[in-house]
Structure 1
Amino acid sequence: MPATASSRRASPSPAPEAVPAPAPAPETSPAVPSVLPQDEWLRRAEAHRVRVERFAAPFIQRRMAGKKHPIEDFLFTYYTHKPGQLQRWHPGAGVVLEGPAAAGRLAWKFYVPAGPGGGAVLDAAAFAAARAEAVRFARIILAGTAARPGQFSCFGLHEWAMAYRSAENGIRHEYLPLRLGAAGTDQVVEEHRIRCTHFDAFRFYAPQAAPLNELQPTRETQRELEQPGCLHANMDLYKWAYKLTPAVPSGLLMDCFELAWEIRTMDMRASPYDLADWGHTPIRIETAEGKAEYVRAQKHFAARADVLRGRLLGVAEALAGPASARPRTGAPDARAARSAGPA
């Protein structure tokens, strides 16, 4: 059953029918200062904690109460970055934290003394060496995705393919009704062209739906298929951001998180599930009007994601150094690419 009305009121998400807000401004200017005084970085760390708490606190409360939310739990359960990790503020590579409080950072992995004058700084070279495979694969995915044209004709049918033949297979969100029922959901799948490019969505298709997809994505072909129109590829910017943390500034990490949060809301509104009890009206992708609404939102998110992807790629390029000039071929490291669960 859905959570109580009181738990839904605690939701931090915006009204579902509102036009998505523009991405928050970065926490620093493009020319990031090389030194942050203690008062300034403590202020930023506290602002980051408050920003995270808005999303994490309701999730933790639901988890303690044994409740679920089909939209707002997703970023904490599908992805492997936990609320406690997300709450830690990092300035990013190349920024010295001044003052006595910086001594506490020396207990954090990859932080080292900034010099004889005190302070702390990220040892970016040590991080890049320890996470070389993750850095390499993130760079390949980010650069490859940015170089391709976006595709805007999938209409979110991956969620429908996951619920195909639910009378036989069941559904992932067993506490949610199907808006068109099992037979109506199957009809939508059968009457549409399905061409999902994202492996981490395709791998959770119902068995009977997988052959209906025009592409057969694999982990090995992910680098060739990822494209910037894909909602899940754009949600995954959050994954690449935390895999490059603490070299990624926490402001950029949260920009990616908040974009993924909004995309998840839109993704589920376009799904076959009835979310009326959760305060969300459907994007009826089985109709011409619904398809047009979906594409408008998809393009809006893609434009925002392009900016964040470029910022993340800049971090990955800096970490990779001269070796980044020519990406190595071959299958990706599964650990570097893996997400936690079904989309």
Structure 2
Amino acid sequence: MEPTAERRVLPAEEWAGVARDHAARADALTQAHRARRAAGSRHAIDDFLYDYYNTKPSLLRRWHPGAGTGLAPTPDGPAEHAVWRWYRTGDDGVVELDTGAFLAERGDTVAFVHTLLAQTAARPAHTGCLGLHEWAMVYRQDDERRRHTLPLRLGREGTDAVVEQLPLQCTHFDAFRFFTPDAVPRNRAPLTRETQVAREQPGCLHANMDLFKWASKLGPAVPGALLLDCFALARDIRTLDMQASPYDVTSLGERAVAIETPEGKAEYVARQRGFAERAAVLRARLVDVAAGLLPVREPLAG
């Protein structure tokens, strides 16, 4: 693939410093997880990001310049990216993402991510779901079948009562698919994988947490800083997700956001809105990345 006119080339001393800073930031973000893993311990909040998203700290610390940015050679030769998947080295020693090769393998994924994120961004943010998806995942369920071993903050009867008193308004299929059978018909609308693009909305905690997933799917086309920004947002959201859940998280050093109370409802909505604002910026940047990769489409005549 020939480099595009928009390509910029970073001098070796510049990109090497950015790569070092990126690795240091990634190490700081994953330090607690790596320490727990070495000790053989688990954390019900933080480990979700690594288990559910199949995240590896070693890949988080690997810096990518993003599509359209080339890396000038060092005195010792081309950037180490030269041997990484989907990169190419020009006759001038500049290393850059081979977008043609990347799209040949990931084109359908890029198109889907662009459509999903662009359509989500175009909708108003709905808040006030109160994180009841986590409650719906344990509604009328035997304790041994729960996803977490943490105790229920309100007990079994108290937990079920909250689900029965408050409306379920989940819009995120990947949360809805874990609802218990008794909780499914209580949701405001049925959700399917086929309706995901039509239902996703930018106020949803999990849709905003998933920005990290979509950044990962776009792989080396996403600049390293954007990937870590999405990861940091997902980690912050996950904390609220569990604080507002039916689980007692005090053993993890966290306090509950009691969404069954007026005070808890107000706190949840305020924090949800703050996350939606942060996510809107990152979602727009990911849409731009995906759009920049896709072939230009001619407007329809008429």
In structure 1, the partner of 2:281 is 307
Structure 1 residue 212 displacement after superposition: 1.1
C-alpha distance in 2, partners of 1:102/1:57? 30
Structure 1 residue 323 displacement after superposition: 4.0
C-alpha distance in 2, partners of 1:217/1:191? 21
Structure 1 residue 70 displacement after superposition: 1.1
Matched, 1:250 2:224: yes
In structure 2, the partner of 1:298 is 272
CA contact (8 A) 2:29 2:232 kept: no
For CA contacts below 8 A with separation 6 or more, give which structure has more relative contact order. 1
CA contact (8 A) 1:136 1:324 kept: no
In the TM superposition, 1:197-208 aligns within 5 A as 197-208=171-182
Q: How many residue pairs get matched?
A: 293
Instruction: Specify every segment of 5 or more residues in structure 1 that has no aligned partner in the other structure, as ranges.
Output: 1-31, 327-343
Structure 1 residue 129 displacement after superposition: 2.3
Partner of 1:221, secondary structure, is helix
**1:151 maps to which of 120, 126, 139:** 126
In structure 1, the partner of 2:86 is 110
Partner of 2:240, secondary structure, is helix
C-alpha distance in 2, partners of 1:102/1:312? 28
Structure 1 residue 321 displacement after superposition: 2.3
Deviations 1:268-319 (A, max 9, x none): 1100111112111111100111111111001111011111110000011111
In structure 2, the partner of 1:128 is 103
In the TM superposition, 1:157-236 aligns within 5 A as 157-167=132-142, 170-174=145-149, 176-236=150-210
C-alpha distance in 2, partners of 1:79/1:231? 15
Q: Residue type of the partner of 2:86?
A: F
**1:241 maps to which of 215, 221, 228:** 215
In structure 1, the partner of 2:25 is 51
Q: Residue type of the partner of 2:82?
A: L
**Alignment CA distance shift 1:86-1:325 (3 Å):** farther
C-alpha distance in 2, partners of 1:87/1:241? 14
Q: Residue type of the partner of 1:144?
A: Q
CA contact (8 A) 1:241 1:253 kept: yes
Structure 1 residue 128 displacement after superposition: 1.9
CA contact (8 A) 1:139 1:316 kept: yes
C-alpha distance in 1, partners of 2:261/2:83? 56
Q: Residue type of the partner of 1:104?
A: E
Structure 1 residue 58 displacement after superposition: 2.2
Partner of 2:96, secondary structure, is strand
Instruction: Specify every segment of 5 or more residues in structure 2 that has no aligned partner in the other structure, as ranges.
Output: 1-5
In structure 1, the partner of 2:3 is none
CA contact (8 A) 2:72 2:79 kept: no
In structure 1, the partner of 2:38 is 64
Structure 1 residue 153 displacement after superposition: 2.0
Matched, 1:321 2:284: no
C-alpha distance in 2, partners of 1:216/1:315? 32
Judge which range, 72-81 or 87-96, deviates more: 72-81
Structure 1 residue 159 displacement after superposition: 0.5
CA contact (8 A) 1:199 1:218 kept: yes
TM-score (norm 2): 0.93
Q: Residue type of the partner of 1:191?
A: Q
**Alignment CA distance shift 1:204-1:59 (3 Å):** same
Deviations 1:193-246 (A, max 9, x none): 101000000111122111111211111000000000000000011111111110
C-alpha distance in 2, partners of 1:83/1:194? 35
CA contact (8 A) 2:71 2:79 kept: no
C-alpha distance in 1, partners of 2:80/2:93? 12
What CA RMSD, in Å, does the superposition of the two structures yield over aligned residues? 1.7
Identity %: 53
C-alpha distance in 2, partners of 1:287/1:166? 23
Structure 1 residue 257 displacement after superposition: 0.6
